[in-house]
Structure 1
Amino acid sequence: MPDRRIRNVTVPTITVYRPSPETNTGAAFVICPGGGYAGLAIDKEGHDIARYLNSLGVTGIVLKNRLPRPEGFVFNHDVPISDAARAVRLARHHAADWGLDSDRIGIMGFSAGGHLASTLATQFDAGEPGSADPVERESSRPDFQVLVYPVVSFREEIGHGGSRTRLIGKNPSAELVDRYSSELNVTAETPPAFLVHTHDDHVKVENSLVYYEALRAAGVPAEMHIYEVGGHGYGIRPTGKPVATWHHRMVEWMKQRGLL
């Protein structure tokens, strides 16, 4: 199976995978592949996921977001989240054409893509009603979020150093660290969440733990599955370990929430 890691992304795109009309549930995910903000695991954490979602009757929208430091460029740290927000707005704007329910558009992220997803889930906006661009009038709030072995925090004691350095630099201000530590930005308006992590992940499990606690404190519905072993970067491919069934737990969660 292909397992490409693409780099030097300077033009954002989305690839829309639509289920058959007979099985379409109207639900959708914007999918954010990981890669430490250095690249994107576009197959294992992008296209694989979209095809699986199609089997559930869910639309998968694979985001190829710009990376903060591609060769020959230095983008501002807010560029990836701008791309993720635009993807959610595009899904809402095209909901009728794509067979979507505009109130059932979620976001899913893996590793650093989980950081991108959780950042949007805690820092969305309602859109600009007066914008000349009709897409920008749409809300960027995801209706639900799924985070798989996510980077969540940029605090030094638990954050993933590579992702942090690539996005906000080697010596970021305390304000910037807090801005990109999603557990510090949860409110009652943060969308419901499903979290997956393992104890032996090099992206510390505390990323998911502190996010879950913040969600719980804010009264946001959340479900978390922590496995003993499994490592990092498995997507939905078979590994022979219990964590490889995480997507079945996600399906149960989606059914419980009326998304399937």
Structure 2
Amino acid sequence: MFNAENEWIKLWPGDAPLTLGGGEEDIPAIKAFPAEERGRGAVIVIPGGGYSMRAEHEGEPIALWLNRIGISAFVLRYRVAPYRYPCALLDAQRAVRYVRFHAERWGIAADKIAVLGFSAGGHLTASVGTHYDAGNPEAEDPIDRISCRPDAIVPCYPVITMKPPYAHEGSRLNLLGEAPSPELIESFSCETQVTPDTPPTFLWHTTDDDVVPVENALMFAAALGRNKVPYDLHVYETGRHGLGLAEGDPHTATWTDICGLWLKRQGL
């Protein structure tokens, strides 16, 4: 199951919950990028794309960077529009459970599973960091008995809020639909869902992001601070939205060095 490289691994043995069909886009999956060193943690990578697609430059290239610093990575193929809530969240939660359940077979530490995502994938990262459970001990599927709480989260230029004036309207529409209830908007405005048990967090954004305002990251950081959750926040002066590794910008590209040090500090 785990030896073939660059193959997608289905997260559910049969159909995923709430599936609409049997095509590739209906099948949540992960692609494994194991590091040579065993015994360390792993990072689940969630590309962005406004919950309408998944940006390739925010997937495999990020996993390969993590490999270069000695960390195993898993790129998540989660469901996007026409799928809406709760499908993407179910996929991300299942990915955490799946990687943790199979940690020994991959040679990774089950108690050091982080999630890192970009833009709308950053929203999904923050969502799985604020909406989690300890698993259902009575579940028939042993993977469902495993906790889906990440041990650390890394939202990168993230969508955080579903509320105006800083919400990214496309992400909100694709995730929650045209007329979401006030309760659903509140629940997925992640800045309102932080508790003292929210995982340690690394955030970065750029001040002139004209797609997802930097206030998204600032609000989440403020909520983390109010709840005494350890966090690193890095705001760069300039940089377009969707930079990924930011290899074309020597200043903003330093986020990978800083984040790598932070991940090491978290035990990964």
> TM-score under structure 1 normalisation?
0.91
Distance 2:180 2:219 in 1: 21
> TM-score under structure 2 normalisation?
0.88
In the TM superposition, what are the counterparts of 1:45-84 in structure 2 within 5 Å? 45-69=58-82, 75-84=83-92
Distance 2:24 2:158 in 1: 22
Question: What amino acid maps onto 1:118 in structure 2?
Answer: A
Distance 1:218 1:235 in 2: 29
CA shift, 1:174, in A, is: 1.1
**Is 1:183 aligned to 2:187, yes or no?**
no
Distance 2:201 2:160 in 1: 13
Is the contact made by 1:25 and 1:58 (CA closer than 8 Å) also made in structure 2?
Answer: no
Question: What amino acid maps onto 2:48 in structure 1?
Answer: G
Distance 1:95 1:188 in 2: 26
**Is 1:161 aligned to 2:174, yes or no?**
no
CA shift, 1:241, in A, is: 4.3
- What runs of 5+ residues in structure 1 fail to find an aligned partner? 1-6, 70-74
CA shift, 1:244, in A, is: 1.5
Distance 2:246 2:232 in 1: 22
Query: Counterpart of 2:38?
Result: 24
**Is 1:221 aligned to 2:234, yes or no?**
no
Distance 1:61 1:154 in 2: 27
- Shift in CA distance, 86/100, structure 1 to aligned 2, threshold 3 Å: same
- What runs of 5+ residues in structure 2 fail to find an aligned partner? 1-22
SS of the aligned residue for 1:40 comes to: coil
CA shift, 1:251, in A, is: 1.3
Q: Percent identity?
A: 42
Query: Counterpart of 2:216?
Result: 207
**After TM superposition, which residue ranges in structure 1, 4 or more long, deviate above 3 angstroms?**
none
- Shift in CA distance, 173/234, structure 1 to aligned 2, threshold 3 Å: same
SS of the aligned residue for 2:171 comes to: helix
Query: Counterpart of 1:151?
Result: 159
SS of the aligned residue for 2:95 comes to: helix
Question: What amino acid maps onto 1:33 in structure 2?
Answer: P
Distance 1:205 1:49 in 2: 22
Distance 1:85 1:57 in 2: 24
Question: What amino acid maps onto 2:58 in structure 1?
Answer: E
SS of the aligned residue for 1:226 comes to: strand
CA shift, 1:175, in A, is: 0.8
Distance 1:88 1:17 in 2: 15
CA shift, 1:11, in A, is: 1.3
Question: What amino acid maps onto 1:67 in structure 2?
Answer: V
Of 104, 119, 130, the residue aligned with 1:111 is 119
Cα shift readout 1:217-254 (whole Å, capped 9, x = no counterpart): 11100000001101111111412241111111101212
CA shift, 1:257, in A, is: 2.9
CA shift, 1:255, in A, is: 2.7
Question: What amino acid maps onto 2:70 in structure 1?
Answer: G
**Is 1:247 aligned to 2:261, yes or no?**
no
SS of the aligned residue for 1:24 comes to: coil
CA shift, 1:25, in A, is: 4.9
